[in-house]
């Protein structure tokens, strides 16, 4: 898995996560975590609150859930 995948997996619970939690859970240096977060925000995969918290956009959560349903159906 890629670093971006790891961050998305962490965020797929739909809850707000602070940046420190992301860096610790995914075991990333702060600078790299900020790059990943910036990338995800640029393409509207995540929402940011006060530059301190992030969560997946609702549309991204729906997309992930749709993929999981297809995978369970064997597609």
Nearest to 35 by CA among 56, 19, 58: 19
pLDDT for the residue numbered 25: 95
Please state, in angstroms and rounded to a whole number, the distance separating the CA atoms of residues 46 and 8: 9
pLDDT tens digits, residue range 7-63?
999 999 999 999 999 999 999 999 999 999 999 999 999 999 988 899 999 999 999
Architecture of domain 3-72: Orthogonal Bundle (1.10)
């Amino acid at each position: 898995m890629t670093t971006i995948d790891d961050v998305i997996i962490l965020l797929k619970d739909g809850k707000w996560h602070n940046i420190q939690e992301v860096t610790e859970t995914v075991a990333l240096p702060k600078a790299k975590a900020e790059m990943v977060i910036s990338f995800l925000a640029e393409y509207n995969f995540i929402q940011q609150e006060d530059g301190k918290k992030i969560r997946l956009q609702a549309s991204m959560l729906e997309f992930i859930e749709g993929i999981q349903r297809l995978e369970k159906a064997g597609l």
